[in-house]
Homo-oligomer: A and B are copies of this chain.
Amino acid sequence: MSVVQDQDLALLVDTRNKAHLVRVRSGQRFETHHGFIAYDAIIGQPWGSIIPSSLGHPYLVVQPSTADLITHIKRNSQVIFPKDSAYILMRINAKPGARVLESGCGSGGLTLALATAVMPTGHVYSQEIREDFIALARRNMERVGLEQYVTFIHGDSTQGFKVEGKVDAVFLDMPEPETCVSQAREVLKDGGFFGALVPTTNQVVNLLRALERAAFGLIDVEEILIRRYKPVADRLRPQDRMIAHTGFLIFARAVVKPYHLPIGACEANDDEEEAFPGEA
Give me the interface of A with B, judged by CB distance under 8 Å: 2-3, 11, 13-23, 25, 28, 30-31, 45-50, 58, 60-63, 65-68, 71-75, 82-83, 85-87, 89-91, 93, 95-96, 113, 116-117, 119-121, 143, 166, 189-193, 199-202, 204-206, 208-209, 212, 215, 217-246, 248, 250, 253-256, 258-260, 262-269, 272, 274-279
Contacts of A121 in B (CB 8 A): 120
In the complex, A217 Cα to B73 Cα: how many Å?
23
The one of B193, B206, B218, B248 that contacts A229, using a Cβ cutoff of 8 Å: B248
The interface residues of chain A, by DSSP majority, are classed as: mixed
| Least distance between A107 CB and chain B CB atoms (Å) | 10
With A60-B217, A231-B221, A256-B46 known as contacts, the answer to whether A266 contacts B116 (CB < 8 A) is no
With A67-B91, A227-B222, A262-B60 known as contacts, the answer to whether A267 contacts B17 (CB < 8 A) is yes
Pairwise interchain contact B73-A95, C-beta atoms closer than 8 A: no
Copies of this chain: 4
Contacts of A71 in B (CB 8 A): 268
| Least distance between A145 CB and chain B CB atoms (Å) | 12
Closest-by-CB residue of B relative to A209 is B233
In the complex, A150 Cα to B54 Cα: how many Å?
46
| Least distance between A141 CB and chain B CB atoms (Å) | 13
In the complex, A14 Cα to B264 Cα: how many Å?
11
Contacts of A258 in B (CB 8 A): 50
In the complex, A239 Cα to B31 Cα: how many Å?
36
Contacts of A166 in B (CB 8 A): 2
